[in-house]
Structure 1
Amino acid sequence: MPTIASQFDSLSQQSWIALSYLLTSTVFQPFFGRATDLFGSRSMLFLAVFIFELGSLLCAVAQNFVWLCAARGVAGMGSAGISVVMMVVISQIVPLRERGNYMGIMYARYAIATVAGPILGGVFTNYNWRWCFWINLIIAVPALAILIALARKLPAARKKNVTFRDIDYIGTVLLSVCTVSLSLAFNWGGIVYDWGSPVVIALIVTGAVLVPIFVCWEIWGPSFPIVPMDMFRYGNVTASTANYFFTSVSNYGMILYLPSYYQLVRRDAQLISGLELLPYMIPMLLATTLVGWLISKTGRIRTWLWGGGAVNLLGTGLLITFNGTLPRGVEYLFILIAGLGMGFVFQSNTLSAQSQVGRELLASVTTMTMWSKSLGGIVGVAMQGSILTNVFKQGILASSAAAPYVTRLLAVDNVSALPADVQSIASASYGSAFHTMMIATTAFCVPGFLFSLSAKKQKLE
Structure 2
Amino acid sequence: MSSNSFDLMCRTHAVGSVKLYSILTGIMIATFLISLDVSIIATAIPSITTRFHATTDIGWYGATYPLTMCALQPISGKLSSLLSLRWTYLSFYGIFLLGSLICGVANSSKMFIIGRAVAGAGGSGVVSGGLSVIALITTPEQRPLFTGLVTSLYALGTVVAPIIGGALAEHTWRWCFFINLPAGAVTVVTLLLFFHPPQNTGTQGVSFLKQLDLIGCALFIPSVIMVMLALQWGGDEYSWNSATVVGLFVGFAVTMTIFICWECYMGDEAMVPVVLLWGRSTTLSIAFAFLFLGSFVIPVYYLPEWFQIVKSASPIRSGVMLLPSVCTQVFGSLVCGISAKHLRYYNPWLFVGSVFLCIANGLYTTFTASSSSASWIGYEIFQGLGCGFAAQIPLLTVQLVFKDRPRYIPVGIATVLFTQYFGSAVMQSIGGAIFQNELKKQLQVQASLDHKQIEMLLNAGTLRVREVAVQAFPDRLVDIINAYNKAITTVFYLPIAGSALAFILAAGIPWVNTRSTPKDDVDCTEEADQLQSDKSANV
Match of 2:217 in 1: 172
Worse overlay, 269-278 or 203-212: 203-212
Q: Quick one: which amino acid aligns to residue 273 of structure 1?
A: S
Match of 1:406 in 2: 457
Match of 2:512 in 1: 458
Q: Which 4+ residue blocks in structure 1 deviate beyond 6 angstroms?
A: none
Q: What CA deviation, in whole Å up to 9, does each residue of 1:76-131 have, x standing for no partner?
A: 11111111111111112323333112212212322332333221111112222121
Q: Which residue of the other structure, out of 251, 255, 259, is the alignment partner of 1:206?
A: 251
SS at the partner of 1:190?
A: coil
Q: Which residue of the other structure, out of 20, 23, 42, is the alignment partner of 2:86?
A: 42
Worse overlay, 217-226 or 124-133: 217-226
1:428–1:63: structure 2 CA closer, same or farther, 3 Å change rule? farther
Partners of 1:70 and 1:301 in 2: CA distance: 41
1:441–1:10: structure 2 CA closer, same or farther, 3 Å change rule? farther
Is the Cα–Cα contact under 8 Å of residues 308 and 463 in structure 2 kept in the other structure? no
Partners of 2:201 and 2:357 in 1: CA distance: 40
Worse overlay, 161-170 or 279-288: 161-170
Q: Quick one: which amino acid aligns to residue 455 of structure 1?
A: I
Partners of 1:447 and 1:20 in 2: CA distance: 31
Q: What is the 5 A alignment of 1:186-201?
A: 186-201=231-246
SS at the partner of 2:170?
A: helix
Match of 1:268 in 2: 313
Q: What CA deviation, in whole Å up to 9, does each residue of 1:141-183 have, x standing for no partner?
A: 33322232224x3443332565356411111121112212222
Partners of 2:376 and 2:352 in 1: CA distance: 22
Whichever of the two has the greater Rg, that structure is 2
Q: Which residue of the other structure, out of 372, 379, 396, is the alignment partner of 1:334?
A: 379
Worse overlay, 357-366 or 53-62: 357-366
Match of 1:87 in 2: 131
Partners of 1:213 and 1:404 in 2: CA distance: 42
Q: Quick one: which amino acid aligns to residue 303 of structure 1?
A: P
Structure 2 length as normaliser, TM-score?
A: 0.79
Match of 2:482 in 1: 428
Is the Cα–Cα contact under 8 Å of residues 5 and 11 in structure 1 kept in the other structure? no
- Which residues of structure 1 form unaligned runs of 5+? none
Is the Cα–Cα contact under 8 Å of residues 144 and 336 in structure 2 kept in the other structure? yes
Partners of 1:107 and 1:97 in 2: CA distance: 17
Q: What CA deviation, in whole Å up to 9, does each residue of 1:267-295 have, x standing for no partner?
A: 01222111011121111111112111112
Match of 2:104 in 1: 60
Q: Quick one: which amino acid aligns to residue 282 of structure 1?
A: C
Partners of 1:379 and 1:5 in 2: CA distance: 28
Partners of 1:445 and 1:65 in 2: CA distance: 39
Is the Cα–Cα contact under 8 Å of residues 80 and 129 in structure 2 kept in the other structure? yes
SS at the partner of 2:285?
A: helix
SS at the partner of 1:127?
A: coil
Match of 2:520 in 1: none
Q: Which residue of the other structure, out of 384, 387, 392, is the alignment partner of 2:431?
A: 384
Partners of 2:170 and 2:435 in 1: CA distance: 27
Partners of 2:346 and 2:374 in 1: CA distance: 32
Partners of 2:480 and 2:112 in 1: CA distance: 31
Is the Cα–Cα contact under 8 Å of residues 145 and 338 in structure 2 kept in the other structure? yes
Q: What is the 5 A alignment of 1:341-352?
A: 341-352=386-397
Q: Quick one: which amino acid aligns to residue 68 of structure 1?
A: F
Q: What is the 5 A alignment of 1:200-349?
A: 200-221=245-266, 224-349=269-394
After TM superposition, give the deviation of residue 415 of structure 1 in Å.
Answer: 5.2
1:12–1:320: structure 2 CA closer, same or farther, 3 Å change rule? farther
Worse overlay, 189-198 or 206-215: 206-215
Partners of 1:194 and 1:419 in 2: CA distance: 26
Is the Cα–Cα contact under 8 Å of residues 187 and 386 in structure 1 kept in the other structure? no
Match of 1:24 in 2: 68
SS at the partner of 2:142?
A: helix
Match of 2:501 in 1: 447
Q: Quick one: which amino acid aligns to residue 311 of structure 1?
A: F
Identity among equivalent positions (%) equals 25
Partners of 1:413 and 1:330 in 2: CA distance: 23
Match of 1:363 in 2: 410
| Residue 156 of structure 1 pairs with residue 199 of structure 2 | yes
After TM superposition, give the deviation of residue 11 of structure 1 in Å.
Answer: 4.5
Match of 1:353 in 2: 398
Match of 2:167 in 1: 123
Q: Quick one: which amino acid aligns to residue 199 of structure 2?
A: A
After TM superposition, give the deviation of residue 405 of structure 1 in Å.
Answer: 4.5
Partners of 2:460 and 2:443 in 1: CA distance: 9
Match of 1:3 in 2: 46
Q: What CA deviation, in whole Å up to 9, does each residue of 1:395-446 have, x standing for no partner?
A: 6686379557436532x34556556337645533321221221122322333
After TM superposition, give the deviation of residue 297 of structure 1 in Å.
Answer: 2.0
Q: What CA deviation, in whole Å up to 9, does each residue of 1:234-279 have, x standing for no partner?
A: 1110111001111111222322332122011110122211101112
Partners of 1:154 and 1:264 in 2: CA distance: 51
Worse overlay, 396-405 or 81-90: 396-405
After TM superposition, give the deviation of residue 12 of structure 1 in Å.
Answer: 5.9
After TM superposition, give the deviation of residue 134 of structure 1 in Å.
Answer: 1.2
Q: Quick one: which amino acid aligns to residue 254 of structure 1?
A: P
Partners of 2:170 and 2:239 in 1: CA distance: 35
Partners of 2:466 and 2:307 in 1: CA distance: 12
Partners of 1:54 and 1:423 in 2: CA distance: 47
CA RMSD in angstroms comes to: 2.4
1:249–1:15: structure 2 CA closer, same or farther, 3 Å change rule? farther
Q: Quick one: which amino acid aligns to residue 40 of structure 1?
A: S
1:324–1:28: structure 2 CA closer, same or farther, 3 Å change rule? same
Is the Cα–Cα contact under 8 Å of residues 309 and 481 in structure 2 kept in the other structure? yes
Partners of 1:34 and 1:317 in 2: CA distance: 39
Is the Cα–Cα contact under 8 Å of residues 249 and 379 in structure 1 kept in the other structure? yes
Q: Quick one: which amino acid aligns to residue 334 of structure 2?
A: T
Worse overlay, 263-272 or 396-405: 396-405
After TM superposition, give the deviation of residue 312 of structure 1 in Å.
Answer: 1.3
Partners of 1:129 and 1:408 in 2: CA distance: 25
Structure 1 length as normaliser, TM-score?
A: 0.92
Partners of 2:247 and 2:510 in 1: CA distance: 39
Worse overlay, 378-387 or 390-399: 390-399
1:333–1:212: structure 2 CA closer, same or farther, 3 Å change rule? same
Q: Quick one: which amino acid aligns to residue 47 of structure 1?
A: S
After TM superposition, give the deviation of residue 44 of structure 1 in Å.
Answer: 0.6
After TM superposition, give the deviation of residue 327 of structure 1 in Å.
Answer: 2.1
